[in-house]
Amino acid sequence: MKGAQSSLAALTLGAIGVVYGDIGTSPLYAFKEVFISGHVPLTTHNILGVLSLFFWTLTVIVSIKYVLLIMRADNHGEGGLMALVALASQSVHDRPKVRRILMTLGVFGVALFFGDGVITPAISVLSAVEGLEVITPAAKPYVLPISLAVLLMLFLVQKRGTDTLGKFFGPVMVIWFAAIGLFGVAQIIQHPEVLQSISPYYAFKFGMEHYELAFITLGAIFLCVTGAEALYADMGHFGKRPIRIAWFSIVMPCLILNYFGQGALVLADPKAVQNPFFLMMPKWATMPMVGLATVATVIASQALISGAFSATKQTVQLGYLPRLSILHTSHKDTGQIYVPAVNWALLFGVVMAVTIFESSSALAAAYGISVSLVMVITTILTFFVIRYGWKLPLPLCILATGIFLLVDVSFFASNLLKIADGGWFPLMMAAALYLILATWKDGKRLLAAKLKRDALELHPFLDSVLEAPPVRAEGTAVFLTATLGVVPNALLHNLKHNKVLHQRNLFLTVLNQEVPMVPLDQQAEISALGHDCWQVVIRFGFLDEPDVPCALQQISTPGFTLDPMTTTYFLSRDIVVPTLGKEMAGWREKLFVQMHRSASEASSFLKLPNNAVVELGSKIEI
């Protein structure tokens, strides 16, 4: 019992450090952005109305939508957009058109997530370092270079992993939440009338009296829930209960206290709206809080970068990206990975965002639009899960998701007003990435269709070859093929050039499943073809670590033995050549060919032993 409580406490502490970094640092800029433009007059009723909107936005979107509803839609214990996409896809497996639409929505949502991965580190670190301007205006010219230096260091240490630093994330974020909560309380004590904002009456009154202004303001108020999707995305790492305990016991109360504290300060001194977060604290605490805020924003950024690495791996597994070099940074936790290509792409995007926008206020215009659209997509996918997966009554499903969809669409519509001021930036990045993902998926489909058209059926081919069998070499040959039941190109080349057939032959197809993990003892499926030949199918989930030799060792079929010392893996390295066709635009074909060439080796990706791999090349036109 004591061990279980200790484990729960450790998981809750870990959740505070990893899950809530992004949403936990939003007080640095969210409240300020509502008023700093000057559109919302600094009156008592307006301040109370805005605080009420903050309170009920956190309550409806985070507490009710994510914590109470969406976290129930787990995919074998895993969460996140890719897990939800897979769950929704399985729920409508008998509706292929709907399934394709949902998969497209989900993939675009993943592209938006990467756009968010660029904006979040930029705005978080910038807003923390801007606290130096509160200490002395002379620090303004140094904010940008200091921010860039912090971000550069953050991305440079990614290859070392977070195994050691991760242990400090939880305690540091607990200190952060305690500090922002206490500074908020100090201001609330002086102006306790801000507590009236808990009543939805003030939010409703603000909306009714200034409905056009309220609609515009929603884009800034939405900043208080950016990062909420991390509750669902990290569910597989920490579990539902620790995430829920952390939210209701520490994170939400401290966030509300800080926002209300900022409101109390602005009530007393309207000039403090320039930077209410840092101006609400005594002068002696400003410098330490700038340092703590910088560390907290680095932690928030680290969690998002790690999430981008995990999302990349899942996207590769589901067939929307070519194989990428994925390095493991921990011997204990296989989930801790480093993807060099993604790391440098994110760094390039972050540096571009910081240099283009130069301040957190300018970046706030770009922030929110991608996250709000991801939330719309999440709600739509959830409807299909609870309606067709859980088989709940249609009226209940419409009620359960319709209210959230209305809220999400309202925030997204308000954020659309910021497109000209910076919202174009994450949308442009998301569109470019979606184009890459779609091009790879379409190109793979065309390549598979071309191979299938030109392929020979395996059964008749083996029968004809073995009527007058070639020399049978000792050992086992494993021929990898993307399509079941066809002759692998590697086998044809082996017979043509080497004129031998191994004593035992496995025709292996690796399939990626729309589930997080496939149990090890269920990954491999074997069927006999005769003549000491077998057809083997290995299935991996999108969170699995593909390991073909390990999966093959789990096979226990009478008459089948596999000696790793006498096993050779034959792969076909296809050289794809673009041709003019109607299926894809010429430039997309060239993009696919370039991606195909730059893909990491299949042998490394599938954990094949280096000294037992033979690659035979072929040229294919698409």
Q: Compute the distance between CA of residue 289 and CA of residue 455 in angstroms, rounded to an integer.
A: 66
**Mean of pLDDT over the chain:** 86
CB-based contacts of 132-140 (< 8 A; 24+ apart in sequence): 132/290, 133/275, 134/275, 134/278, 134/279, 134/286, 135/286, 135/287, 135/290
Q: Compute the distance between CA of residue 125 and CA of residue 302 in angstroms, rounded to an integer.
A: 11
Based on the domain organization, do 17 and 152 belong to the same domain? yes
Band of residue 1 on the pLDDT scale cut at 50, 70, 90? very low
Based on the domain organization, do 491 and 391 belong to the same domain? no
Based on the domain organization, do 469 and 410 belong to the same domain? no
Other CB atoms within a 10 A radius of the CB of residue 436 amount to 18
Based on the domain organization, do 415 and 489 belong to the same domain? no
Based on the domain organization, do 370 and 507 belong to the same domain? no
Would you state the pLDDT for residue 423? 84
Q: What angle do CA 394, 399, 401 make, to 5 degrees?
A: 95
Based on the domain organization, do 286 and 382 belong to the same domain? yes
Residue 195: pLDDT over 80: yes
Within a domain: residue 446?
no
Within a domain: residue 562?
yes
Query: Which phi-psi region, left, alpha or beta, contains residue 567 (left: φ > 0; alpha: ψ -120 to 50)?
Result: beta
Residue 106: pLDDT over 50: yes
Based on the domain organization, do 495 and 598 belong to the same domain? yes
Based on the domain organization, do 63 and 208 belong to the same domain? yes
Count structural domains, the chain.
Answer: 2
Would you state the pLDDT for residue 8? 83
Taking the alpha carbons at both ends of the chain, their separation in whole angstroms is: 61
pLDDT in tens, 357-399: 888 888 887 888 888 898 999 999 999 999 998 899 999 999 9
In order of 151, 569, 607, the CA distances from 611 in angstroms are 41, 10, 12
State the average pLDDT over residues 314-340: 77
Q: Compute the distance between CA of residue 230 and CA of residue 307 in angstroms, rounded to an integer.
A: 9
Within a domain: residue 447?
no
Within a domain: residue 256?
yes
pLDDT in tens, 13-69: 888 888 888 899 999 989 988 888 767 888 889 999 999 999 999 999 999 999 888
Based on the domain organization, do 431 and 477 belong to the same domain? no
State the average pLDDT over residues 205-220: 86
Based on the domain organization, do 25 and 84 belong to the same domain? yes
Give the residue numbers spanning the domain of 524: 455-621
Identify the CATH number of the domain in which residue 310 sits: 1.20.1740.10
Would you state the pLDDT for residue 2? 47
pLDDT in tens, 444-477: 888 878 877 877 888 888 888 888 888 888 889 9
Based on the domain organization, do 150 and 274 belong to the same domain? yes
Residues found in the chain: 622
DSSP 149-163: HHHHHHHHTGGG-ST
Within a domain: residue 278?
yes
Who wins on pLDDT, 119 or 576?
A: 119
Within a domain: residue 444?
no
State the average pLDDT over residues 60-84: 84
Based on the domain organization, do 51 and 159 belong to the same domain? yes
